[in-house]
């Protein structure tokens, strides 16, 4: 996703239009899954509009989910604030023995 929707394409009108179209299709598109080393490496329209959860895999066998919460302060309305709230931590199921080997 970082290659196709990265910061280096921040002025690409086709990508901006795709992001806009995807926000309009929220009733038809329930889940969008993408991978990147960090969401800040994505084009602005994708990192700020589409994703509301981040799933980190810090080490093999565990995951951590964080919810992105955004708001605009009343007294500083030109700057949007963002906060990551922990949503859950857990282990993956064990792999079958032949795959583990």
The string of pLDDT tens digits covering residues 85-99 is: 888 889 988 888 898
Listing from the earlier edge strand, what are the strands of the sheet with 81-91? 53-56, 62-71, 81-91
Question: Which stretches in the chain have pLDDT values below 50?
Answer: none
Closest CA to 71 of 63, 62, 80: 80
- Structure confidence at residue 94 (pLDDT): 82
Q: Say what the pTM is.
A: 0.62
């Amino acid at each position: 996703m970082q290659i196709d929707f990265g910061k280096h394409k921040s002025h690409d009108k086709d990508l901006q239009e795709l992001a806009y179209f995807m926000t309009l299709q929220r009733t038809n598109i329930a889940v969008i899954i993408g991978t990147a080393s960090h969401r800040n490496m994505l084009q602005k329209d994708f990192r700020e509009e589409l994703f509301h959860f981040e799933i980190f895999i810090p080490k093999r066998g565990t995951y951590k989910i964080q919810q992105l919460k955004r708001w605009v302060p009343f007294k500083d309305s030109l700057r949007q604030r963002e906060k990551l709230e922990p949503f859950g931590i857990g282990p993956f199921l064990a792999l079958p023995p032949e795959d583990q080997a």
